[in-house]
């Protein structure tokens, strides 16, 4: 299977970003964080990653295309650090359209991200995956990603 990444147009980005933030917030709450913590996380990330109506410098949002047809979206940004002195990139979002899931497009998207990062001179890719997202965790592990830290929590009955 082959595919490509196409940089999202400013117009499409303006349409996509609001819904992405809503989905991101919902993911935080579903992972077990409070609504207040989710709101703070979204506000912090929105301030760091966007600038006005667009993206902050070093951020790239791509449509994932298979045979010229969009099947998902990835958000990549250059971050500080990196193994061996190379640039490190961070994957902020990977979405495969619901109707397209289960067809290997998530794997393809991550392989395309890796190729893009290599071409950009990157030596490392980081990402976050919520603990309740077993499908994504399994995919990333199968692609060679490893855990660097694990956050854990226990809710106590009042």
In tens, the pLDDT along 20-42 reads: 999 999 999 999 999 999 999 99
Please give the domain boundaries of the chain with CATH numbers for all domains: 4-142 (3.40.630.30)
- pLDDT at residue 129 is higher than 60: yes
Predicted local distance difference test score (pLDDT) of residue 158: 63
In tens, the pLDDT along 61-106 reads: 999 999 999 999 999 999 876 556 678 999 999 999 999 999 999 9
Averaged pLDDT for residues 112-134: 94
CA distance 117 to 88: 8
């Amino acid at each position: 299977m082959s595919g490509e990444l196409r940089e999202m147009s400013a117009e499409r980005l303006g349409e996509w970003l609001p819904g992405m933030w809503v989905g991101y917030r919902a993911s935080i709450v579903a992972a077990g964080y409070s609504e207040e913590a989710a709101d703070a996380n979204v506000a912090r990330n929105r301030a760091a990653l966007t600038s006005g109506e667009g993206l902050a410098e070093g951020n790239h949002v791509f449509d994932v295309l298979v045979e010229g047809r969009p099947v998902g979206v990835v958000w990549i940004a250059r971050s500080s650090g990196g193994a061996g002195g190379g640039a490190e990139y961070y994957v902020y979002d990977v979405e495969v359209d619901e109707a397209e899931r289960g067809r290997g497009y998530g794997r393809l998207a991550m392989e395309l991200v890796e190729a893009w990062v290599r071409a950009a001179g990157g030596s490392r890719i980081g990402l976050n995956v919520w603990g309740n997202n077993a499908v994504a965790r399994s995919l990333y592990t199968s692609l060679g990603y490893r855990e660097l830290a694990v956050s854990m929590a226990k809710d106590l009955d009042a």
